[in-house]
């Protein structure tokens, strides 16, 4: 039989489904843990005394660890469904991933130990801030590198400079989008949870519009860089769905920005928070439709990693689909219960 380059093969339906499902898992993390990370990233700017700091920590305390399940599940699904892409991503982005992991560990430790009064309050405050802001930035940088493409050798291994090679203009702008969007979610969440009229509530409300403007400007700049400087680099290789799909998600992004701005002006904290979470849907959608059927486009000399070339066997993907059909609804039920249990604004009594 003639040799068929696997990078040119069309993905099977199950492979395409798992490409979509991993995008959904990452979207779940971006939305649910976004306001957690954003609250930590704004921690030193919002909370000015011990009571306000306790309010910020308490607002995410019952939720943050459950929200991180989506990141763990997304990473596990990538490993099980597209192992070669997992290996390449973790080898190429090794130092960046270690920084993210150390940041998330530091954040978790800070949340758990900050209230103990062990004399290390400043250390835990710094860990909470850096452990939230750094991952929020690096997530966007990683996605920007994947969209732009990375140098791969013939074995599918990363062939560029460690960490420094990832800090290119387009990925850095994507990092700014990610960071500012997550900070916007954090400010919107704190405005929703803080007592109305409190200084914490007023600071959170005041930060929403500037952060929304930064998100919009960074998105425009990233779009200009991608089409202007890079010239839509993968479309000539067959990557990316028709431009119409990206245009639809771009419209969704604009609609989310406009809706968030309108609700902010009306002073509706709940709908402002919900509208702030429309942008992640659009951003993940644009990324997915730009990449498919690629997982990691190559800038050379080796071939790109595609959904078809990296996809697992049909048996493995079938078993994963059955497990996901059972597990994901259970996780959603858990989230519904926990969010209903801790709904509403916080009060001083909740701090005890």
- Domain membership of residue 71 as a residue range: 13-351
pLDDT for 4: 39
Instruction: Answer for the pair 113, 126: CB distance below 8 angstroms, yes or no.
Output: no
Distance in angstroms (rounded) separating the CA atoms of residues 200 and 45: 10
Q: Is residue 229 in some structural domain?
A: yes
Distance in angstroms (rounded) separating the CA atoms of residues 308 and 293: 8
Q: Is residue 176 in some structural domain?
A: yes
Q: Is residue 5 in some structural domain?
A: no
What are the beta bridge partners of residue 158? 152
pLDDT for 343: 87
Distance in angstroms (rounded) separating the CA atoms of residues 49 and 141: 33
Q: Is residue 6 in some structural domain?
A: no
One pLDDT digit (tens) per residue for the chain, 352 residues? 333 344 556 788 899 999 999 999 999 999 988 999 999 999 999 988 889 999 999 999 888 888 888 888 888 899 889 999 988 888 878 888 899 999 999 999 998 888 777 678 899 999 999 999 999 999 999 999 999 888 888 887 888 777 788 889 999 999 999 999 999 999 999 999 999 989 999 999 999 999 999 999 999 999 999 887 766 665 545 455 677 888 899 999 999 999 999 999 998 999 999 999 999 999 999 999 888 888 998 887 888 899 998 888 899 999 999 999 998 899 899 999 999 988 888 888 777 6
Q: Is residue 42 in some structural domain?
A: yes
Q: Is residue 304 in some structural domain?
A: yes
Q: Is residue 155 in some structural domain?
A: yes
Residue 241's φ and ψ, nearest 5 degrees, are -75, 170
Q: Is residue 1 in some structural domain?
A: no
Tokens of 233: 């680099």
Q: Which residue has the tokens 């000015």?
A: 48
H or E element at residue 18: helix 13-32
pLDDT for 232: 66
Look at the chain and report how many structural domains it folds into. Answer: 1
| Distances from the Cα of 187 to the Cα of 4, 60, 129, 331, angstroms | 51, 12, 14, 26
pLDDT for 269: 94
């Amino acid at each position: 039989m003639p040799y068929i380059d696997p990078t040119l093969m069309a993905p099977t339906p199950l492979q395409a489904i798992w490409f979509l499902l991993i995008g959904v898992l990452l979207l779940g993390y971006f939305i649910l843990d976004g306001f957690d990370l954003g609250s930590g990233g704004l921690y030193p700017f919002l909370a000015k005394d011990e009571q306000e700091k306790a309010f910020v920590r308490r607002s995410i305390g019952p939720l943050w660890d459950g929200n991180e399940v989506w990141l763990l599940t997304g990473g596990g699904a990538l490993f099980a469904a597209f192992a070669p892409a997992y290996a390449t991503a973790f080898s190429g982005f090794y130092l960046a991933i270690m920084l993210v992991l150390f940041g998330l560990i530091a954040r978790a430790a800070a949340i758990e130990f900050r209230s103990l009064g062990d004399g290390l309050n400043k250390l835990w405050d710094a860990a909470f801030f850096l452990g939230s802001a750094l991952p929020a930035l690096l997530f966007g940088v990683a996605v920007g590198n994947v969209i732009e493409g990375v140098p791969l050798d013939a074995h599918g291994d990363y062939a560029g400079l460690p960490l420094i090679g990832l800090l290119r203009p387009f990925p850095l702008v994507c990092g700014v989008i990610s960071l500012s969007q997550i900070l916007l979610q954090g400010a919107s969440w704190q405005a929703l949870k803080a007592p109305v009229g409190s200084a914490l509530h007023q600071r959170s409300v005041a930060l929403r519009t500037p952060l929304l403007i930064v998100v919009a400007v960074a998105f425009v700049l990233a779009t200009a860089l991608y089409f202007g400087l890079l010239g839509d680099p993968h479309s000539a290789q067959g990557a990316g769905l028709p431009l119409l799909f990206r245009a639809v998600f771009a419209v969704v992004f604009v609609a989310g920005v406009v809706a968030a701005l309108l609700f902010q002006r009306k002073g509706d904290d709940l709908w402002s928070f919900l509208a702030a979470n429309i942008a992640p849907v659009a951003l993940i959608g644009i990324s997915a439709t730009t990449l498919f059927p690629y997982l990691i486009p190559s800038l050379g000399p080796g071939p790109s990693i595609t959904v078809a070339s990296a996809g697992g066997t049909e048996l493995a993907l079938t078993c994963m689909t059955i497990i996901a059909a059972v597990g994901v609804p259970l996780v959603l039920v858990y989230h519904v219960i926990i969010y209903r249990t801790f709904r509403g604004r916080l009060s001083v009594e909740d701090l005890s």
